């Protein structure tokens, strides 16, 4: 009986191991069935660190050159601090203007260039660091009011009716 249970367990384990094949997911395959090659050549308007490895399955890219939009995900063996500093120092050279940044366990930087906004999220992972660069059109892009304005509109005055003052007891 013990041999039968052992044989069954080994058969089940073999079947389950076959389910976890390492085939490429459909998002990293071309229509002709060949593997898509991750290339950073299409990004001419942002800095990409050397030896970065693109996560093709997590990236969603539309367009190329200076007009691409979407999400670029990559990992490196650099420290998150080094990648944060790279973007902080190099984005202005690519024509981006900083809107805001937060440095922490997960660091976030937001930049604007013409009618596009780039948000860069940098975090530490088991495999080094992961950077997610999301580029999207600015709100109202294409209109004269589409550019980021650091001054928010003045709030409307609060209604004065029905407000009373009473001392606390």
The residues, any chain, with a CB within 8 Å of residue 55's CB and separated by 6 or more, are 73, 74, 75, 130
Q: What is the DSSP string of 148-165?
A: --SSPPPPPPPP-TT---
**Cα separation values, 94 from 32, 55, 97, 125, Å:** 36, 23, 9, 27
pLDDT value of position 20: 41
Q: What is the mean pLDDT of the chain?
A: 77
pLDDT tens-digit series, residues 48-100: 898 899 999 999 999 888 889 999 999 999 999 999 999 999 999 999 999 99
Q: Any idea of the CA torsion for 56, 27, 118, 74, to the nearest 10 degrees? A: -10
The SS3 of residue 107 is strand
pLDDT value of position 124: 95
pLDDT band at 105 (very low <50, low <70, confident <90, very high): very high
Residue recorded with tokens 């090659």:
37
Q: Which domain holds residue 122?
A: 40-137
What is this structure's pTM? 0.64
Task: Look up residue 154 and give its two tokens.
Answer: 């003045």
Domain membership flag for residue 6: no
Domain membership flag for residue 9: no
pLDDT value of position 53: 92
Q: How far apart are CA 2 and CA 114, in angstroms?
A: 72
Domain membership flag for residue 33: no
Count the domains in the chain.
Answer: 1
What would you measure as the largest C-alpha separation in the chain, in angstroms?
Answer: 85
Domain membership flag for residue 59: yes
Domain membership flag for residue 49: yes
Phi, psi of 65 (to 5 degrees): 65, -140
Is the Cβ–Cβ distance between 75 and 55 less than 8 Å? yes
- Ranked by mean pLDDT, the top range of 24-28, 67-71, 95-99, 136-140 is 95-99
Q: How far apart are CA 118 and CA 133, in angstroms?
A: 7
DSSP secondary-structure letter at 54?
E
Domain membership flag for residue 107: yes
Domain membership flag for residue 155: no
Task: Look up residue 89 and give its two tokens.
Answer: 């120092």
Quick one: CA dihedral 107, 91, 127, 73, positive or negative? positive
pLDDT value of position 113: 94
Domain membership flag for residue 99: yes
* Least confidently predicted of 6-10, 107-111, 113-117: 6-10
- Comparing 70 with 20, which gets the higher pLDDT? 70
pLDDT value of position 67: 87
Q: Is the model's pLDDT at 4 over the cut of 90?
A: no
């Amino acid at each position: 009986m013990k041999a039968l249970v052992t044989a069954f367990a080994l058969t089940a384990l073999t079947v389950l191991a076959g389910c976890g094949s390492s085939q490429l997911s459909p998002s990293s395959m071309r229509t002709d069935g060949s593997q898509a090659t991750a290339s950073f050549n299409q990004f001419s308007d942002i800095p990409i660190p050397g030896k970065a490895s693109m996560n093709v399955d997590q990236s969603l890219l539309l367009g190329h050159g200076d007009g691409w939009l979407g999400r670029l995900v990559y990992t490196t063996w650099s420290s998150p601090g080094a990648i944060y500093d790279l973007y902080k120092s190099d984005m202005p050279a690519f024509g981006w203007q900083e809107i805001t940044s937060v440095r922490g366990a997960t660091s976030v930087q937001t930049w604007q260039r013409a009618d596009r906004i780039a948000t860069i999220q940098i975090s530490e992972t088991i495999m080094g660091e992961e950077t997610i660069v999301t580029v999207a059109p600015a709100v109202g892009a294409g209109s004269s009011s589409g550019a980021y304005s650091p001054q928010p509109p003045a709030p409307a005055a609060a209604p004065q009716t029905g407000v009373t003052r009473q001392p606390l007891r």
